[in-house]
């Protein structure tokens, strides 16, 4: 093994590798530390990636592609006991070509999302994927997870932004699918298999994305809901009034707002009214959207869907509202509790029903559990968490709650995994969700691309 490690080090040169003890932050994540690994490789080019994968594949060494390691599901760290290397793409971070006329950009996989967003904006264009980890997450990781985030309502998920990919296959071959075509019905659309594949099929080295005209004006409004059962009524009203101008519609829990205001004194309380649920609404266009927001507020108040609201009238107020949204991350507020979490997907019209039913189920098993939910409403996506007293968390109740909520999600025709992906964390739950036919097809795809099972073993649906 030592000879192979030396060979890998030689491929990338002195700056291209890190010893395990020098890279603890790359070998664990938000969920805890991972299994042992041989070393971290940080290649600079597609050619180096290709040579690394060929050596690893020939010697049965597992490869874990890693971008910013900001995923939330144990997805980019070693989780199996086998000889493994972590392959960090972070040095491959160039923007190769931004074509304003085509509104496309070609970029290396390790480019940080925010860097690409800012570069696009300097050219009057918008790179649509956006979420709280924008300063650390890479575009390769965004595509590896098919990230969702705050702009899906208007622009779709990351998948919808991808025009082409260059991918290094586990055996070292390079697939150049780096096309920038809108239409290309020349066979199976292979790039779709790599999008959301969580590093289990190959290593994305370059990407071509579509960009959008930048929306010059955007304005946000926070409203307190009279009752969560009226959420979809408000959403429909927003769509009727604003159409495509409605670019974000985010449900936030009152408990999260209070916790964020306590913890972050720089965030100003937006309104005095206290409610169980709030919605942060953003509209965007090339000219003012204020009249649409006002119309929504007036109609929503008249029909008593909205209990109170505040319209951001300056950039500072707008940032304050969005800072509040970004601090809806619950684990920072419930340290020491046992956390149970789901990244639920249901059809949009059933979100309120799901929230009510899930709380009843959780409280039926553990009456003092804290239920906490944040939702990208337009995407039917609910980040659902339940926090248990640590002593209760050690008992079988935890598994019972997981089972009951999984069953509830499936009875709603939903998925236990929406935008965050599967990783090692949700693998067993997701397996139960798949029919035999679907599981068989997915396994065969994996075997076609990675017959030796070296790509990110233990993730998604696969043991190896």
Ligand X SMILES: Cc1cc2nc3c(=O)[nH]c(=O)nc-3n(C[C@H](O)[C@H](O)[C@H](O)COP(=O)(O)OP(=O)(O)OC[C@H]3O[C@@H](n4cnc5c(N)ncnc54)[C@H](O)[C@@H]3O)c2cc1C
Closest distance to ligand X from the beta carbon of 425 (Å): 11
Helix (H) or strand (E) holding 443: helix 436-449
> What's the CA gap between 202 and 288, in Å, rounded?
45
Site string for ligand X, 196-215 (x = CB under 6 A): --xx---xx-----------
Closest distance to ligand X from the beta carbon of 174 (Å): 13
Structure tokens at 233: 């009524």
Return the bridge partners of 309, or none.
Answer: 223
Taking CB under 6 A as the binding criterion, the range among 143-151, 300-308, 364-372, 446-454 that sits at the site for ligand X is 143-151
Angle ∠(203,93,59) on CA atoms, nearest 5: 30
Closest distance to ligand X from the beta carbon of 88 (Å): 8
**SS3 (DSSP) at 177:** strand
Which of residues 144, 270, 378, 414 is near ligand X by CB under 6 A?
Answer: 144
Q: Which one, 78 or 300, has the nearer CB to ligand X?
A: 78
- Residue 378 as a binder of ligand X (CB under 6 A): the answer is no
> What's the CA gap between 178 and 206, in Å, rounded?
7
Which of residues 43, 78, 141, 256 is near ligand X by CB under 6 A?
Answer: 141
- Residues sharing a CB contact under 8 Å with residue 185, sequence separation 6 or more, in sequence order: none
- Residues sharing a CB contact under 8 Å with residue 157, sequence separation 6 or more, in sequence order: 129, 146, 147, 148, 419
Q: How many residues bind ligand X (CB under 6 A)?
A: 35
Read off the DSSP letter of residue 24: G
Instruction: Calculate the dihedral angle through the C-alpha atoms of 70, 164, 79, 110, rounding to the nearest 10 degrees.
Output: -50
Closest distance to ligand X from the beta carbon of 376 (Å): 7
Q: Which one, 145 or 284, has the nearer CB to ligand X?
A: 145
Closest distance to ligand X from the beta carbon of 310 (Å): 23
Which of residues 148, 270, 380, 453 is near ligand X by CB under 6 A?
Answer: 148
Q: Kindly write down the DSSP assignment for every residue of 76-142, as one continuous string.
A: SS--SSS-EEEEE-TT---EEEEETTTTEEEEETT-BHHHHHHHHHHTTEE---B-TTTTT-BHHHH
Q: Which one, 154 or 459, has the nearer CB to ligand X?
A: 459
> What's the CA gap between 56 and 53, in Å, rounded?
5
Which of residues 34, 43, 78, 147 is near ligand X by CB under 6 A?
Answer: 147
- Residue 65 as a binder of ligand X (CB under 6 A): the answer is yes
Find the binding residues for ligand X in span 84-103 (CB under 6 A).
89
- Residue 75 as a binder of ligand X (CB under 6 A): the answer is yes
Find the binding residues for ligand X in span 119-138 (CB under 6 A).
131-133, 137-138
Find the binding residues for ligand X in span 323-352 (CB under 6 A).
329
Which of residues 68, 378, 457, 458 is near ligand X by CB under 6 A?
Answer: 68
Closest distance to ligand X from the beta carbon of 130 (Å): 8
Q: Which one, 193 or 404, has the nearer CB to ligand X?
A: 193
- Residue 140 as a binder of ligand X (CB under 6 A): the answer is yes
CB-based contact 220:284 (threshold 8 Å): no
Which of 82, 31, 72, 47 is closest to 455 using CA atoms?
82
Q: Which one, 69 or 320, has the nearer CB to ligand X?
A: 69
Sign of the dihedral defined by the CA atoms of residues 334, 336, 338, 340, in that order: positive
Q: Which one, 131 or 297, has the nearer CB to ligand X?
A: 131
Read off the DSSP letter of residue 459: S
Q: Which one, 169 or 370, has the nearer CB to ligand X?
A: 169
Query: Could you tell me where the DSSP H helices lie in 29-92?
Result: 46-58
Closest distance to ligand X from the beta carbon of 137 (Å): 4
Taking CB under 6 A as the binding criterion, the range among 59-67, 175-183, 258-266, 367-375 that sits at the site for ligand X is 59-67
- Residue 48 as a binder of ligand X (CB under 6 A): the answer is no
* CA 151 to mean position of chain CA atoms: 12
| Cβ-count burial 300-337 (b if 16+ within 10 Å, e if not) | beeeebbbbbbbbeeeebbebbbebbebbebeebbeeb
Q: Which one, 5 or 329, has the nearer CB to ligand X?
A: 329
Closest distance to ligand X from the beta carbon of 29 (Å): 7
> What's the CA gap between 157 and 175, in Å, rounded?
24
Q: Which one, 278 or 449, has the nearer CB to ligand X?
A: 449
Closest distance to ligand X from the beta carbon of 75 (Å): 4
> What's the CA gap between 230 and 151, in Å, rounded?
23
Site string for ligand X, 409-448 (x = CB under 6 A): ----------xx----------------------------
Q: Which one, 201 or 293, has the nearer CB to ligand X?
A: 201
Helix (H) or strand (E) holding 295: helix 290-302
Q: Which one, 208 or 241, has the nearer CB to ligand X?
A: 208
Beta strand 381-388 pairing with 338-345: antiparallel
Residues of the shown chain interacting with ligand X in the complex, contacts defined by CB under 6 A: 64-72, 75-76, 89, 109, 131-133, 137-138, 140-142, 144-145, 147-149, 198-199, 203-204, 329, 419-420, 456, 459
């Amino acid at each position: 093994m030592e000879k192979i490690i030396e060979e890998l080090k030689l491929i990338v040169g002195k700056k291209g590798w890190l010893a395990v003890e020098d890279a603890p932050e790359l070998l664990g994540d938000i969920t805890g530390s991972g299994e042992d690994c041989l070393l971290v490789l940080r290649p600079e080019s597609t050619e180096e990636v290709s040579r690394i994968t060929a050596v690893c594949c020939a010697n049965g060494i597992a490869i874990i592609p890693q971008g910013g390691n900001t995923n939330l599901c144990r997805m980019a760290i070693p989780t199996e006991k086998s000889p493994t290397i972590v392959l960090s793409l972070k040095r491959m971070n160039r923007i190769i070509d931004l074509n304003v006329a085509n509104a496309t950009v070609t970029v290396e996989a390790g480019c940080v999302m925010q860097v690409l967003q800012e570069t696009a904006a300097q050219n009057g264009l918008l790179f649509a994927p956006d979420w709280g980890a924008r300063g650390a997450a890479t575009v390769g990781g965004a595509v590896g997870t098919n990230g969702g985030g705050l702009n899906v309502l208007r622009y779709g998920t990351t998948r919808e932004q991808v025009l082409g990919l260059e991918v290094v296959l586990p055996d070292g071959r390079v697939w150049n699918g780096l096309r920038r075509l809108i239409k290309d019905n020349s066979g199976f659309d292979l790039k779709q298999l790599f999008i959301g594949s969580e590093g289990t099929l190959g290593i994305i080295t370059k990407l071509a994305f579509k960009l959008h005209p930048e929306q010059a004006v955007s304005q946000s409004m926070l409203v307190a809901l009279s009752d969560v059962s009226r959420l979809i009524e408000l959403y429909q009203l927003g769509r009727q009034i604003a159409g495509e101008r409605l670019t974000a519609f985010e449900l936030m829990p009152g408990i999260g707002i209070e916790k964020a205001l306590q913890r972050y004194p720089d965030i100003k309380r937006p309104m005095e009214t206290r409610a169980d649920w709030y919605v942060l609404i953003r509209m965007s266009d090339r000219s003012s959207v204020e009249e649409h927001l006002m119309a929504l507020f007036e109609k929503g108040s008249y029909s008593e869907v909205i209990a109170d609201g505040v319209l951001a009238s300056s950039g500072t107020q707008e940032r304050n509202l969005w800072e509040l949204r970004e601090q809806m991350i619950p684990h920072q507020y419930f340290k020491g509790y046992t956390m149970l979490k789901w990244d639920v997907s249901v059809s949009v019209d059933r979100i309120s029903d799901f929230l009510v039913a899930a709380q009843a189920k959780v409280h039926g098993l553990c009456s003092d559990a804290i239920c906490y939910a944040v939702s990208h409403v337009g995407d039917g996506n609910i980040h659902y968490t339940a926090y248990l007293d640590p002593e209760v968390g050690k008992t079988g109740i935890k598994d019972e709650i997981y089972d009951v909520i999984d069953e509830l999600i499936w009875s709603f025709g939903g998925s236990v995994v929406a935008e965050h992906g599967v990783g090692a964390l949700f693998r067993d739950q997701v397996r139960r969700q798949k029919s035999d036919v679907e599981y068989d097809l997915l396994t065969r795809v994996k075997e076609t691309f990675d017959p030796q099972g070296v790509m990110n073993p233990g993730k998604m649906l696969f043991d190896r």
